[in-house]
């Protein structure tokens, strides 16, 4: 279960959005017990921010890892002694058997990181991560200036900033750069036998219930194996009657639905699908908005449809100084939203 927050000035509320299975395609829990373990491509990257321009990568080390494997990497970052005036950086990358244990006089810092892959499935990569930053002391010996050790969970393609440090306070550095940073990126390493497969998505947004006809929106796309495809539906709009509340006219309410879907074929012909959905409800010309998001991962047969309900808001916005009529109107609006069901229906299949 994930939580989201949307606010507009002066009035706001929080709503947990759960994705509830209405069909046979989803089971209790996240479905991760049925998902295939994957290899992961990890990249440890050094970044530099120019004194007057943008931030950009200056060097990295990368490799594929299987669950249970560990790697220890070292990056030494500094100004190129032969081209310091031109602000050229120099990055020395060391493999485990030749780790950099000292800090050269041309280097600003040496970073060392130990990475252990604990589990990896669709949209979920779990790591044990320990890193440290070494700086050159006045006696020329390395001193540990910073470090950390923790368990980390990343989605596919997500990056985590590990360290951020100002450049040494010497003219050569400060005229070129403002700071240096270290980050880690993780993504699934695609099976070469399946990497070029394409998957078609047929996604329907369905809004239905008493008080009016059903409304549908459709989104179709074909994507590459393992790539995320983003969707955003045309806004749903409807009127909710507020009769009996003094000075109130029918409320025009908007519902916004967006998100992303990613899937992979497996060697046995099944599909593993991850969907993340965002729902937000607001007054068309009002001052509050309630929203949240959730995600689900599941293994399905190609062509099998998955139906996910995006629950309506359950909490009433409360605002300091709100009039009784406004509070009653808000409650009536949310009750009207709960009378209608908003669902996503997804069908995914390989495209030959």
Side-chain half-sphere exposure of 232, counting CA atoms within 13 A = 1
Cα separation of 90 and 335, whole Å?
Answer: 62
pLDDT tens-digit map of 16-26: 333 333 333 33
* Number of domains the chain contains: 2
In degrees and rounded to multiples of 5, residue 231 shows phi and psi of: -125, 150
- Of 162, 188, 214, which residue is a domain's last? 188
Q: Kindly report which listed range (99-103, 179-183, 244-248) carries the lowest average pLDDT score.
A: 244-248
Are 140 and 180 in a shared domain?
yes
Average pLDDT, the chain: 83
The DSSP string of 141-154 is -EEEEEEEEEEEEE
Are 94 and 142 in a shared domain?
yes
Are 115 and 64 in a shared domain?
yes
Cα separation of 6 and 239, whole Å?
Answer: 22
Are 8 and 149 in a shared domain?
no
Place of tokens 């321009």: 53
The model carries a pTM of 0.81
The predicted structure's pLDDT at residue 54: 96
Residue 163: pLDDT band (50, 70, 90) is: very high
Q: Is the per-residue pLDDT at 279 higher than 90?
A: yes
Contacts (Cβ under 8 Å, ≥6 apart) of 86: none
Segments forming the whole domain that contains residue 201: 2-35+193-351
- Of 188, 207, 225, which residue is a domain's last? 188
Percent helix / strand / coil, the chain, rounded to 5: 10, 55, 35
Which two structure tokens, joined as six digits, stand for 52? 């007057």
Are 200 and 331 in a shared domain?
yes
Are 156 and 239 in a shared domain?
no
The predicted structure's pLDDT at residue 7: 32
Q: Kindly report which listed range (125-129, 169-173, 192-196, 216-220) carries the lowest average pLDDT score.
A: 169-173
Are 73 and 27 in a shared domain?
no
Are 17 and 63 in a shared domain?
no
CB atoms within 10 A of CB 210: 6
For residues 212-237, average pLDDT: 95
Higher-scoring residue by pLDDT: 58, 93: 58
Are 21 and 56 in a shared domain?
no
pLDDT tens-digit map of 246-275: 556 788 889 999 999 999 999 999 999 999
Question: Is 113 within 8 Å of 129 (Cβ atoms)?
Answer: yes
The predicted structure's pLDDT at residue 84: 62
Higher-scoring residue by pLDDT: 120, 316: 120
Nearest-CA neighbor of 343 among 209, 211, 201, 199?
209
Of all residues in the chain, what percent carry a pLDDT higher than 70?
82
Are 152 and 237 in a shared domain?
no
Which two structure tokens, joined as six digits, stand for 62? 């990368």
Q: Is the per-residue pLDDT at 27 higher than 70?
A: no
pLDDT tens-digit map of 281-339: 988 876 678 888 888 899 999 999 999 899 888 776 666 556 655 677 888 888 888 88
- Of 188, 216, 233, which residue is a domain's last? 188
Are 254 and 131 in a shared domain?
no
Q: Is 245 exposed, middle or buried (0-12, 13-18, 19+ CB in 10 A)?
A: middle
Are 173 and 252 in a shared domain?
no
Q: Is the per-residue pLDDT at 81 higher than 60?
A: yes
For residues 26-53, average pLDDT: 77
The predicted structure's pLDDT at residue 107: 87
Q: Kindly report which listed range (94-98, 121-125, 191-195, 220-224) carries the lowest average pLDDT score.
A: 94-98
The predicted structure's pLDDT at residue 248: 63
């Amino acid at each position: 279960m994930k939580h989201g927050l949307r606010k507009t000035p002066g009035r706001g509320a929080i709503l947990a959005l759960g994705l509830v299975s209405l069909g046979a395609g989803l089971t209790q829990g996240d479905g991760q017990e049925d998902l295939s373990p994957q290899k992961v491509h990890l990249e440890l990257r050094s970044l530099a921010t120019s004194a007057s321009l943008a931030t950009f990568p200056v060097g990295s080390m990368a490799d594929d890892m299987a669950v249970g494997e560990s790697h220890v990497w070292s990056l030494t970052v500094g100004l190129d002694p032969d081209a310091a005036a031109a602000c050229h950086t120099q990055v020395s990358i060391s493999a485990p058997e030749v780790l950099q244990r000292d800090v050269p006089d041309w280097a600003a810092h040496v970073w060392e990181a130990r990475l252990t892959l604990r589990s990896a499935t669709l949209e979920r990569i779990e790591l044990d991560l320990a890193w440290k930053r070494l700086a050159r002391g006045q006696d020329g010996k390395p001193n540990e200036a910073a470090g950390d050790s923790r368990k980390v969970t990343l989605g596919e393609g997500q990056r985590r900033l590990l360290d951020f440090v100002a450049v040494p306070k010497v003219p050569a550095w400060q005229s070129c750069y403002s700071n240096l940073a270290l980050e880690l990126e993780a993504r699934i390493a695609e099976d070469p036998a399946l990497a070029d497969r394409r998957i078609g998505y047929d996604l329907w947004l369905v809004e239905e219930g008493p008080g009016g006809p059903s409304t549908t929106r459709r989104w179709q796309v074909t994507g590459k194996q393992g790539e995320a495809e983003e969707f955003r539906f045309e806004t749903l709009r409807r009127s909710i009657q507020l009769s009996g509340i003094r000075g109130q006219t029918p409320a025009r309410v908007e519902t916004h639905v967006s998100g992303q879907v990613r899937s992979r074929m497996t060697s046995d012909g099944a599909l593993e699908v991850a969907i993340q959905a965002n729902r937000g409800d607001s007054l068309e010309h009002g001052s509050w908005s309630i929203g949240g998001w959730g995600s689900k991962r599941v293994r399905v047969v190609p062509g099998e449809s998955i139906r996910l309900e995006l629950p309506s808001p359950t909490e009433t916005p409360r605002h300091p100084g709100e009039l009784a009529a406004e509070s009653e109107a808000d409650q009536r609006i949310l009750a009207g939203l709960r009378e209608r069901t908003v669902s996503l229906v997804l069908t995914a299949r390989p495209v030959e």
